[in-house]
Amino acid sequence: MKKMFLAALMFFMATQVNATLISAYSFTGDFDTDDSRYYIQFDVTDTATISFLSHSYAGGVNAAGDIIADGGFDPQLFIFDAASTLLESDDDSSSVISASSNYAYDAFISLVLTAGSYTAVLTQYDSDFISGDLVTGVWSPSGKTNFNDRTAFFSFDISGDNLDNVGGIGVGTTPVPEPGTLAMLALGLFGFAGRRFSK
Reply yes or no on whether the pLDDT at 189 is more than 50: no
How many other CB atoms are found less than 10 A from the CB of residue 42? 20
Reply yes or no on whether the pLDDT at 43 is more than 90: yes
pLDDT digits (tens, 9 = 90+) for 97-122: 999 999 999 999 999 999 999 999 99
Which comes out higher in pLDDT, residue 178 or 35? 35
Architecture in CATH for domain 24-176: Sandwich (2.60)
Which comes out higher in pLDDT, residue 179 or 13? 179
Torsion of CA 63, 65, 70, 73, to 10 degrees: -40
Q: Helix 2-22 and helix 179-198: axis angle, to 10°?
A: 170
Of the ranges 11-15, 25-29, 68-72, which one carries the lowest mean pLDDT score?
11-15
Q: What is the pTM of this model?
A: 0.77
Q: How far apart are the first and last CA of the chain?
A: 11
Confidence category of residue 4, pLDDT binned at 50, 70, 90: very low
What's the farthest any 2 CA atoms get from each other in the chain?
61
| Residue ranges covered by each domain of the chain | 24-176
Reply yes or no on whether the pLDDT at 35 is more than 90: yes
Residue at 21: amino acid letter: L
Confidence category of residue 95, pLDDT binned at 50, 70, 90: confident
